[in-house]
Structure 1
C-alpha cells in the first residue's frame, strides 16, 4: 500500500540576521532570491513597514531549503536591502486573523531562536495530505488540520497562483528538559506534512546552484540516548513506517531522502566535532550535488571550512554555518 508521506519537502534554518544568512548561503554555493516579508503601516497613513517574519528559499525540483527570521520593530537592518515587502491586503473581517497568524509564526520563530540559531523546521511531502491527516488523527497524533494558503506563483509558472496545503503536528504534552512548546510545534521544532510541490510552478524557480546541489536528501535529529526509542515511536507514527538500524543510528528511508535519528553519544562519530546545541535538536541537513569535488573546491575558494564524515561525505560545521551542519553528498 503506497505511503501517504513520501519524501522531505523542506527544512527550515532559523537565523537572527537574514542578510548575514543570505550572504553565507551564497558562499555555500546556493542561489537564494531576495526574501519576502509582510508589511503594514504602524500608524494610520504611514508607509508599510516589515513585521512578523521574513523568509527565502534555495529551491530544488521537489524540495527546498528555507531561511527564515523573526522581524521586530527596528529590525530592518537585519534584512537584505532587496527584501520584497508584501503589503497585507485582506477584507476587514479577515485582516485581524491574518495578523494574528503572522504574529504566532513570529512568536514561534522567537521561541526557536531562544533555544538556538539553527535548524528548527522539518516538513515531509505528501501526495495525499488529507489521507495523511486522517491517518494521524486515527493514530492519536494531535495536529492543527490541513491549512490552505495561496500566494502569487513565480513568473513563468503554469499557474499565476500557488496553492499550499499543510498540517503542523502538535506536541502530545510536556517533554522533560525541553521546556514549553507552542501550538504547531514539537520539542525539536516545527514538524509537519505539506502537499507535494507543483512541478509546473516549482520549475519556474531558480534551480541551478553553483555548488551543483540537486535536492534535499536528509535531515539529522539528535536526541538524548534514553529518548531514542520514544522518538523513534513518534516518527514511526508520523511517517507510518519503521526505521532501520545503521550502527547506533535509526534511519527512516523516504523516496530519495532519509531522516536519521542519532543518540547524543553517537553524534561525534557521525559528524566529527559536532555537539548538539540542545536536546532534542535538528543538527544537520544533507543535499545531493552533481560533483562532490566541484562542491569542495567552491567551498574552499569561498573560505568555508569543510570536514569529512566517516562515510566520505563533506560537511560544513555548524559553527561556520549559523548553527546547523550542512552535509554534501554525491548523488
Structure 2
C-alpha cells in the first residue's frame, strides 16, 4: 500500500444547531473558525440565496474537525456566518443546485440517525493511485472529484483546489456506507494562518477516529476496512494505523470509553485529538463545567452527552495507545 495514506484528513460532526455547536466547541477549548454557507441565485439574474449546508472548522496543522448543519427552508444561517458565492454559468447552475440539495438531503438522513460524527475522510498525497487501487480490488467508489474549497488567509477568503473520493458501502451509492460517509481527500499545500490555530485546550492534531460495530459485524467490517486502508493491527480492538481508525465491537466499547453507548450501530462514536499538556486540558474543561473522565495516564475523554453526540478523546502529545 506504500505511502498512499497519511492519516486523517478530517472528521465531520453533523449537528442540529450550528450556533449551539460553535458555543459548545469553544467551551471545550477549541478555536472555531467563522461558519460559512453557499449562496447561489435560484434563477438566472435573481438574488443569491443561502441553501444547502453551513459548516465551520476546527483546524490543526494537519487535518480538521468539520461542524456541519443543514440550512432549513427559512434560509436561516448561523450567527456571524460568511456567505460563499458560487459563481457558475447559468446553464450549469441547475446541476450545481441539484448536487448541493442532494448533499443536504444526505446530511439530513445522517442527522435523522443521530447527532454526531458521520464523516471520516483519510488524507492521501496521491488520490489517483488510491482510486486505481480501490478499483483493482473491487471496491466501489464514486471516482475522483475536483472541487474548490474556501480557505481563510491573512488577506481574506480564497478558493483553493481540492480533490476527493467517496467510497460506496455494500449495496450503497457513492458517499454512503452503513456507518456514514467515508473516503479520501488530497489537498495541495496551502499557507493559511488559520490552519495553525492556537487552541485554548492545547490540542495539536486530529489523531484518531473510533467506529463501533455490532460484535457479529466486526469480522466483515474489518475485512472491508483492510481493503480501504491496509492491514489492521490486532488487539483488544482493531486498529488501522495508517488511517488512524480504530474499530471496536459494541461489547468492548465500555472498556475503551467507560459509560459510552452507541446511538446506533455501526457508528462513529468518538474522535481523538493530541494535546500539549493533558493535566492543563483537564483543568480547562473542568473550569468550563465540562465533564471529563481519565482513562489512563495519558488519556481522558469528554462523554458524547456533553459533546453533541460524539465523545472527544484528549491524548497526551506523543503517546501511542497500545492493546
TM-score range (shorter-chain normalised) is over 0.9
Residue 185 (structure 1) aligns with = 176
Deviation at 1:219, TM superposition (A): 0.5
**Partner residue of 2:8?**
8
What number of residue pairs does the alignment pair up? Answer: 316
Task: Find the counterpart in structure 1 of residue 100 from structure 2.
Answer: 102
**Residue aligning to 1:151:** 149
Name the SS of the counterpart of 1:168 in structure 2: strand
Instruction: Report matched runs for 1:273-288 at 5 Å.
Output: 273-288=259-274
Q: Which one of 231, 241, 246 corresponds to residue 221 of structure 2?
A: 231
Aligned-residue RMSD, C-alpha: 2.0
| TM-score between both structures, scaled by the size of structure 2 | 0.92
Deviation digits for residues 185-229 of structure 1 (CA, Å, limit 9, x no counterpart): 11100000001x444334553521111111001010000001111
- Which aligned runs of 4 or more in structure 1 are off by greater than 6 angstroms? 43-46
Which of 234, 239, 245 is 2:234 aligned to?
245
How far apart, CA to CA, are the structure 2 residues paired with 1:68 and 1:19? 11
Question: Partner of 2:19 in structure 1?
Answer: 19
Cα distance in 1, alignment partners of residues 38 and 85 from structure 2:
6
User: 212, 215, 220: which one pairs with 2:205?
Assistant: 215
Q: Displacement, 1:42?
A: 5.6
Query: Which residue number corresponds to residue 134 of structure 1?
Result: 132
8 A Cα contact 1:143 1:168, kept in partner: yes
Aligned partners of 2:167 and 2:121: how far apart in 1?
A: 10
Counterparts in 2 of 1:6-155, with a 5 A limit?
A: 6-41=6-41, 47-74=47-74, 76=76, 79-155=77-153
Taking a change above 3 Å as real, the CA distance of residues 139 and 194 of structure 1, as seen in their structure-2 partners, is same
Give, in whole Å, the separation in 2 of the partners of 1:203 and 1:311: 33
Structure 2 distance, partners of 1:149, 1:13, is: 21
Deviation (angstroms), 1:88: 2.9
Which blocks of at least 5 consecutive residues in structure 2 are unaligned?
318-323
Distance (Å, rounded) in 1 between the aligned partners of 2:296 and 2:50: 44
The alpha-carbon deviation at position 41 of structure 1 amounts to: 4.8
